[in-house]
Each structure stands twice: as structure tokens, then as C-alpha cells.
């Protein structure tokens, strides 16, 4: 762009706001929605460093998530087009193009609804535009008109008569998504909130807060108790432990506990007391692994605490980190894979881990002997270990038979492939000793005499091919 305004010019200039916005939209939007729309309109006329997501969030004292949600609201109103959220890109649309004929409804369809709704707002006249927003909601969400009136009354009781329809319909849509359709459903929802009033008072007291709870906070309490399974006493205990005593902080803390399977007061107290030691353990693990993280909270939540929950002792975790470093595994995700392997084998202590490793070393020595017998000159690889596991555990061969098969494979182009075929033939003919194996011919005919060829249905094959992770589930 070859021409642009100076910052001084921009400061002294004006941002034009369409009268349609002021008349038809602004009265029904909340403070944040108006702030975001107007600031975005201002940014449309600027070409400066201020035109960034970070600067906008800072200027409006809002989070990026709140700004995106607000632009989604204006997108639903047809005033903007949300092109992208990351990076944020918003196109402001023409008001004239957004104007559309108001849908006409059968006369008298909403007469009782209009009367009841207006009676709830005696201090102001509800305009036709606002009535139509309610009509559109009732079209989109088939809820009884009387039920919606009860929701409006609830919102007025909660927020006062100045409450606007965007908030009311947000509540109504949320309740509709929860299954609310009739007057009885609304009464059940209200009774649910009423029954938790004593519980809410306990939570508010634990947060050192006076006054009542708003709708969002009541919904949080239902989520904590009904969806996540926390007891009210455990929630209150958690609230008392918080330094930042807000519902938002309490929600994030309980979310963390929920993911860590921490539900009781004793578990919370133990975790609270062990948080410092968990930090120390995370530092030791990172040092042994050769990594550094400035913040340890995510590491403790995602890795360390789940490892301890599996039953690993702290010394074992540090030892595993050291072994990972020596093996070239130098990140937490890679270490997590190693942890899973030890857990599957039941090795949770330093002693059991060392025994497991010693056992694997012995197996590798045996595999090297197999490779030598087969004429292979190379290192042991993962597929070798998998073959040995199948030959010994699944097929039931002793070491001497496996070594005999290896010696028979000497000089073959693909010794391990030949060994698999040979041992399979041994297994099929019941040759589980060297003496019997020597009598087995490997020259198998293409189809065994007397074997009836047939096709299998999808259902018959599903028992084998729908779960190939576990060899034990393959039916012979």
C-alpha cells in the first residue's frame, strides 16, 4: 500500500457507525458484544500494529476465546463473516445486504406469548424486532411458549429487569440442549437449582464470597456433582484450599483433579501436600532424561501423576528416565511408551525393572545365538524379539527346537522367514522336540490331501480379523 494515514491522523479521525446497528442491534447486545463490534470496526479503518489479535484482547481486557465467541455471535446476526479463528480474520458485512424481510406468522399464533412477555417488562416497550427474535428461537427450538416465558421470568429474577434477550435466549438454548421442552421440564430444572441452594451456600462460603450465585455458577455446580462425580464436601474442601478464590479457578482445579482421578478430600489433601514433592520428582526425571521445562504443571498432570497412579515408585521413574537417556529416548512422550511397556510386564519398582531388563538381556543373548546358527551377522532388532515371543509363548517351542530350526535355516536367502515357515510346519505336525522335528518334511504340498477348500463369510472371519492386536484372540 503506497498511501496510509499517520497515527496522529487516525487519532483525530472518526469511526462511522451505521444507524441500523445503533437502532436494531446495539440495544439487544451486551457490553462485550458492543465493545468487540465497535473496536473491530475501528480496526477496519486502521493500518497499524494495533491491528492484531493480541493488541485487541489487551485493549478490550478480554481473552481471545471471548473475542472469538463474540464474533461468532455477530456472525450469527449476519453482520460479520468469521473467516478464520487462528489467525483471527473477520470480514465486516454491509447492513443493507443483511436486511431481510421479517418472517410473517399466522395472526394470533403468538398473541398470548406477546402479552405474557410484555407483562414481564413493565418498564419498557418490547419492539417488534425483539419479538421476532423470540419467534425465530421458538421455530428453531420447539419448546412450549409457556416454558419460554418461565425461562424469561427466571432470568429476570436472576439478573433484573434490564436483562436482554441475547442472555435469555442463551439460557433457553442451553436448557433446550439439556432436554427442556415443557413447563414441567422447566419446573424440574428450577427445582434442581433450588435443591442445590444449600450446597451452593456452602461453596460460596468456602470461597469467602457473599451474595448469591449466577446461572453459570449454578450450572458449574451441577457439572461438578452430576457429570464429574464430586461430592459437595469435596468441592468445598477444594475451594478452601484455593488462593485465588473464584469459581473459574475452582472449576479449573476440579477439572485437573477429575483428569487425575482425584475425587475425595483425603486424595485432594494428599495431592496438595505432595505437590512440592511432585515438582522435585519432575525435576529429577527431567534431569535424568536430559530435558528442561520452565513450567512443570503440565508435565505433572499429563505424565508424572498418571505414572504414580499406575503404581510406579519415584525411584523407579528416575531410573527409567536414566535408562531412556542411555537408549536415546530423550523426551517425555517416548519415556511414556517405555513406562507402558514396563507396566504391561508388571515391573513397577527398581528391583522388578532391573529383573525385567536382565531377562530381556538374556533373551537378546539367545536371539544372537539363533542368528549365529542361522548364519545372520547383524544386531538384534525388534522383529527378532517379537518372533521369539511368538515361538516360545504362543507356539510353545523349547529353545533346543528353535536352535535346530535356526541351524536348518543356515544358508537360506531369508533365514528368519524360513525359520517361521519351518517352525509353523513343526507346530502343525506336533513336532515339539528335536527328534520329532527331524522327521518333519518341509516340502509341504500346495493343498493338503483331503483338505476341503472353502470360503468363509464376513461374520465367520470377524473373530480373527476384527482384533489383531492380541495373538491370544486368534482362533486356531
Query: Is 459 part of a structural domain of the chain?
Result: no
**Domain count for the chain:** 5
Residues 327, 407 within the same domain: no
pLDDT, position 471: 42
Query: Is 164 part of a structural domain of the chain?
Result: yes
Query: Is 432 part of a structural domain of the chain?
Result: yes
Q: What residues does 84 pair with on adjacent strands?
A: 89
Task: Report residue 328 as a C-alpha cell.
Answer: 536415546
Mean pLDDT is lowest, of 94-98, 145-149, 241-245, 359-363, for 94-98
Q: What does the alpha-carbon distance between residue 476 and residue 462 come to, in Å, rounded to a whole number?
A: 14
Contact by Cβ (8 Å): 235, 225: yes
Q: 167, 194, 221 — which closes off a domain? A: 194
Q: What does the alpha-carbon distance between residue 370 and residue 441 come to, in Å, rounded to a whole number?
A: 21
Q: 297, 321, 348 — which closes off a domain? A: 348
For residue 48, give the CATH number of its domain.
1.10.10.10
Query: Is 319 part of a structural domain of the chain?
Result: yes
Residues 368, 338 within the same domain: no
Higher local confidence (pLDDT), 195 or 276? 276
User: Residues 379-398: pLDDT tens digits?
Assistant: 999 899 999 999 999 999 99
User: Residues 32-81: pLDDT tens digits?
Assistant: 889 999 999 888 877 655 557 888 888 888 888 889 988 988 887 778 88
Higher local confidence (pLDDT), 254 or 452? 254
Residues 375, 414 within the same domain: yes
Residues 315, 293 within the same domain: yes
Q: What does the alpha-carbon distance between residue 371 and residue 404 come to, in Å, rounded to a whole number?
A: 12
Residues 364, 435 within the same domain: yes
Contact by Cβ (8 Å): 191, 54: no
Residues 80, 143 within the same domain: no
Residues 135, 165 within the same domain: yes
Phi, psi of 113 (to 5 degrees): -65, -45
DSSP label at residue 232: H
Q: What does the alpha-carbon distance between residue 234 and residue 244 come to, in Å, rounded to a whole number?
A: 17
User: Residues 124-135: pLDDT tens digits?
Assistant: 888 887 888 899
Residues 370, 446 within the same domain: yes
Task: Report residue 266 as a C-alpha cell.
Answer: 483425603
Model confidence at 285: pLDDT above 90: yes
State the average pLDDT over residues 226-247: 91
Residues 241, 285 within the same domain: no
Selection from 192, 185, 104 nearest residue 144 by Cα = 185
Query: Is 140 part of a structural domain of the chain?
Result: yes
Question: DSSP letters along 312-357, please?
Answer: --HHHHHHHHHHHHHTT--SHHHHHHHHHHHHHTT--SHHHHHHHH
Residue whose grid cell is 477444594: 238
The percentage of residues in the chain with a pLDDT greater than 90, rounded to a whole number, is 42
Residues spanned by the domain of 74: 7-98
Query: CB count, 10 Å around CB of 216?
Result: 13
Residues 271, 231 within the same domain: no
Task: Report residue 315 as a C-alpha cell.
Answer: 525411584
Query: Is 220 part of a structural domain of the chain?
Result: yes
Q: 138, 170, 194 — which closes off a domain? A: 194
pLDDT, position 232: 92
Higher local confidence (pLDDT), 444 or 40? 40
Task: Report residue 345 as a C-alpha cell.
Answer: 510386564
Residues 279, 230 within the same domain: no
Contact by Cβ (8 Å): 326, 289: no
Q: What does pLDDT average to over the chain?
A: 84
Residues 178, 203 within the same domain: no
Q: What does the alpha-carbon distance between residue 69 and residue 63 come to, in Å, rounded to a whole number?
A: 10
pLDDT, position 7: 57
**Biggest CA-to-CA distance, the chain:** 103
Q: Write b or e for each residue in 165-178: b if 16 or more Cβ atoms lie within 10 A of its Cβ, otherwise e.
A: beebbebbbebbee
Residue 218 Ramachandran class (φ > 0 left, ψ -120 to 50 alpha, else beta): alpha
Phi, psi of 137 (to 5 degrees): -65, -45
Contact by Cβ (8 Å): 289, 325: yes
Query: Is 105 part of a structural domain of the chain?
Result: no
Query: Is 132 part of a structural domain of the chain?
Result: yes
Q: What does the alpha-carbon distance between residue 186 and residue 180 come to, in Å, rounded to a whole number?
A: 6
For residue 177, give the CATH number of its domain.
1.10.10
Q: What residues does 89 pair with on adjacent strands?
A: 84
Model confidence at 1: pLDDT above 50: no
Amino acid at each position: 500500500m503506497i498511501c496510509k494515514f499517520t497515527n496522529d491522523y487516525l487519532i483525530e479521525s472518526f469511526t462511522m457507525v451505521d444507524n441500523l446497528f445503533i437502532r436494531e442491534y446495539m440495544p439487544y447486545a451486551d457490553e462485550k458484544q458492543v465493545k468487540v463490534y465497535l473496536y473491530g470496526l475501528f480496526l477496519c479503518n486502521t493500518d497499524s500494529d494495533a491491528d492484531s489479535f493480541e493488541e485487541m484482547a489487551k485493549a478490550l481486557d478480554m481473552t481471545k476465546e471471548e473475542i472469538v465467541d463474540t464474533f461468532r455471535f455477530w456472525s450469527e446476526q449476519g453482520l460479520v463473516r468469521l473467516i478464520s479463528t487462528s489467525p483471527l480474520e473477520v470480514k465486516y458485512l454491509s447492513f443493507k445486504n443483511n436486511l431481510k424481510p421479517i418472517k410473517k406468522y399466522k395472526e394470533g399464533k403468538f398473541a398470548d406469548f406477546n402479552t405474557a412477555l410484555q407483562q414481564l417488562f413493565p418498564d419498557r416497550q418490547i419492539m417488534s424486532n425483539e419479538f421476532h427474535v423470540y419467534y425465530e428461537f421458538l421455530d428453531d427450538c420447539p419448546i412450549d411458549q409457556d416454558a419460554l416465558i418461565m425461562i424469561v421470568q427466571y432470568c429476570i429474577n436472576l439478573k433484573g429487569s434490564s436483562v436482554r434477550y441475547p442472555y435469555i435466549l442463551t439460557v433457553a438454548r442451553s436448557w433446550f440442549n439439556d432436554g427442556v421442552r415443557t413447563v414441567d421440564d422447566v419446573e424440574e430444572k428450577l427445582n434442581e437449582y433450588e435443591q442445590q441452594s444449600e450446597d451452593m451456600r456452602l461453596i460460596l462460603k468456602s470461597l469467602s464470597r457473599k451474595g448469591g450465585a449466577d446461572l453459570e455458577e449454578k450450572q458449574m455446580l451441577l457439572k461438578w456433582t452430576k457429570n464429574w462425580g464430586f461430592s459437595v464436601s469435596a468441592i468445598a474442601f477444594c475451594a478452601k484450599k484455593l488462593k485465588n478464590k473464584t469459581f473459574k479457578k475452582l472449576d479449573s482445579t476440579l477439572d485437573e483433579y477429575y483428569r487425575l482421578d482425584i475425587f475425595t478430600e483425603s486424595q485432594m489433601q494428599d495431592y496438595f501436600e505432595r505437590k512440592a514433592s511432585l515438582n522435585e520428582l519432575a525435576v529429577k526425571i527431567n534431569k535424568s532424561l536430559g530435558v528442561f521445562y520452565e513450567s512443570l504443571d503440565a508435565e505433572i498432570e499429563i505424565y508424572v501423576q498418571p505414572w504414580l497412579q499406575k503404581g510406579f515408585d519415584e525411584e523407579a521413574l528416575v531410573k527409567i528416565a536414566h535408562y531412556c537417556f542411555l537408549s536415546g529416548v530423550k523426551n517425555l512422550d517416548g519415556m511414556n511408551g517405555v513406562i507402558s511397556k514396563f507396566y504391561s510386564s508388571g515391573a513397577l519398582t527398581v528391583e522388578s525393572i532391573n529383573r525385567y531388563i536382565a531377562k530381556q538381556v538374556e533373551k537378546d543373548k539367545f536371539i544372537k545365538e539363533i542368528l549365529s546358527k542361522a548364519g545372520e551377522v547383524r544386531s538384534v532388532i525388534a522383529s527378532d524379539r517379537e518372533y521369539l515371543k511368538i515361538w516360545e509363548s504362543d507356539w510353545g517351542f523349547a529353545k533346543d527346537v528353535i536352535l535346530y530350526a535356526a541351524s536348518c535355516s543356515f544358508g537360506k536367502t531369508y533365514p528368519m522367514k524360513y525359520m517361521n515357515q519351518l517352525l509353523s510346519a513343526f507346530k502343525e505336525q506336533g513336532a515339539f522336540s528335536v527328534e520329532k522335528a527331524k522327521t518333519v518334511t518341509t516340502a509341504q504340498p500346495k493343498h493338503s490331501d483331503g483338505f476341503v477348500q472353502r470360503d468363509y463369510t464376513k461374520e465367520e472371519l470377524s473373530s480373527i480379523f476384527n482384533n489383531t492386536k492380541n495373538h491370544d484372540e486368534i482362533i486356531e
